[in-house]
């Protein structure tokens, strides 16, 4: 496993396990299976409703807590100075943990700056080892980092990033502010027929790897952390075994040609989506 070092010196594994849409009754075994395969980063959220089972899996695994990196995320109803602090404590209670490694604000909407100040407090108290944002475009990243009342810059921005939606300006902006990028849906949720893509298939044959491994490795070489999700043990194994080869400069460039410059999963800028998020019940 390779690690990225966050702005505060904390080390974060570069491959992790996504648990979005994993039902609570399957979560514990899913996480235990992944931990057996060597996964040490788990990505959840309050909205995923499986934090409790993740806590159970960690305890049952017998792996020292310090060797596992847990990320969770807060959602809009808790976005205020007080609310973010209460919600952080709620996550810790539900998971049965003393701290999370990384707490993110799921979307930069509503009173996210108020919530951010709450997270700064939780960070200072040790309830979160690191704090960050999710779903920020470059303008929002710059806005947060330039805001005088923001005392601690986000250490991570977790955004959709894969060969079809590369977000190069976002990546550059994060680099400029010392923020590490983390890719959700690093396999584009299987959309655009990614696993049969001609360019990725050609490259995969050259390295004797699968298309999934090529897509994930491409992000790793851009310095981006990936958190793919899979229901199958053999795919979980595949997705973490991406450190024994290196894509050439020419192949990295070839993959750059696949960028369509926007998401086909969710249009974060669409007012209907913003309204949906504001009214989302979980
Ligand atoms: N911050 C946010 O707003 C946000 C939004 C979305 C997701 N996330 C996080 O990011 C994680 C990953 O995103 P995601 O689950 O949406 O999408 P993803 O990881 O890009 O794609 C998952 C899909 O790829 C398939 N797959 C995985 N590994 C494969 C392999 N080696 N070969 C072939 N197919 C493979 C899975 O199929 P099978 O399951 O059938 O194997 C599943 O259909 C989530 O679980 C969540 O933790 C965060």
- Cα–Cα distance measured from residue 276 to residue 95, given in angstroms and rounded to the nearest whole number: 27
Lining residues, ligand 1, CB within 6 Å: 18-20, 43, 106, 134-135, 158, 184-190, 195, 210, 212, 227-232, 235, 238-239
User: Nearest residue CA, atom 5 of ligand 1?
Assistant: 184
What string of pLDDT tens digits covers the 282 residues of the chain? 999 999 999 999 999 999 999 999 999 999 999 999 999 999 999 999 999 999 999 999 999 999 999 999 999 999 999 999 999 999 999 999 999 999 999 999 999 999 999 999 999 999 999 999 999 999 999 999 999 999 999 999 999 999 999 999 999 999 999 999 999 999 999 999 999 999 999 999 999 999 999 999 999 999 999 999 998 999 999 999 999 999 999 999 999 999 999 999 999 999 999 999 999 999
Active site (annotated) includes residue 48? yes
Atom of ligand 1 nearest to the CA of 43: 47
CA 17 / ligand 1 centre spacing (Å):
9
| Domain-wise residue ranges, the chain | 3-278
User: Nearest residue CA, atom 21 of ligand 1?
Assistant: 189
Question: Topology of 3-278 in CATH?
Answer: TIM Barrel (3.20.20)
Q: Which of 48, 79, 112, 123 is catalytic?
A: 48
User: Nearest residue CA, atom 30 of ligand 1?
Assistant: 235
Q: Which residues of 182-206 are buried (b: 16+ CB within 10 A; e: fewer)?
A: bbbbbbbbeebebeebeebeebbee
- Cα–Cα distance measured from residue 12 to residue 14, given in angstroms and rounded to the nearest whole number: 6
Q: Which residues of 154-175 are buried (b: 16+ CB within 10 A; e: fewer)?
A: bbbbbbbbbbbbbbeebbebbe
Say what the pLDDT of residue 22 is. Answer: 94
């Amino acid at each position: 496993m390779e690690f990225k070092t966050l702005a505060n010196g904390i080390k974060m594994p570069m491959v992790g396990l996504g648990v979005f849409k994993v039902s609570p009754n399957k979560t514990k075994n899913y996480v235990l299976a992944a931990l057996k395969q060597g996964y040490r980063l788990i990505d959840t959220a309050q909205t995923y409703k499986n934090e409790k089972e993740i806590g159970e899996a960690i305890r049952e695994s017998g792996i020292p807590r310090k060797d596992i990196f847990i990320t969770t995320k807060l959602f809009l109803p808790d976005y205020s100075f007080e609310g973010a602090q209460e919600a952080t404590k709620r996550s810790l209670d539900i998971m049965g943990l003393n701290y999370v490694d990384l707490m993110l604000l799921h979307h930069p909407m509503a009173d996210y700056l108020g919530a951010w100040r709450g997270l700064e407090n939780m960070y200072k108290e040790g309830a979160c080892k690191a704090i960050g944002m999710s779903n920020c475009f470059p303008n929002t990243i710059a806005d947060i980092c330039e805001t005088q009342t923001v005392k601690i810059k986000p250490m991570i921005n977790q955004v959709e990033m894969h060969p079809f939606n590369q977000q190069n300006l976002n990546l550059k902006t994060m680099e400029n502010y010392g923020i590490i990028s983390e890719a959700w849906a690093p396999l584009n949720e299987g959309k655009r027929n990614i696993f049969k893509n001609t360019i990725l298939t050609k490259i995969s044959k050259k390295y004797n790897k699968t298309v999934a491994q090529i897509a994930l490795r491409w992000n790793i070489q851009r310095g981006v952390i990936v958190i793919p999700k899979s229901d199958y043990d053999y795919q979980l194994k595949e997705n973490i075994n991406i450190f024994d080869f290196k894509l050439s400069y020419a192949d990295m460039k070839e993959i750059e040609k696949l960028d369509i410059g926007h998401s086909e999963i969710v249009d974060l800028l669409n007012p209907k989506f913003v309204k949906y998020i504001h009214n989302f019940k979980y």
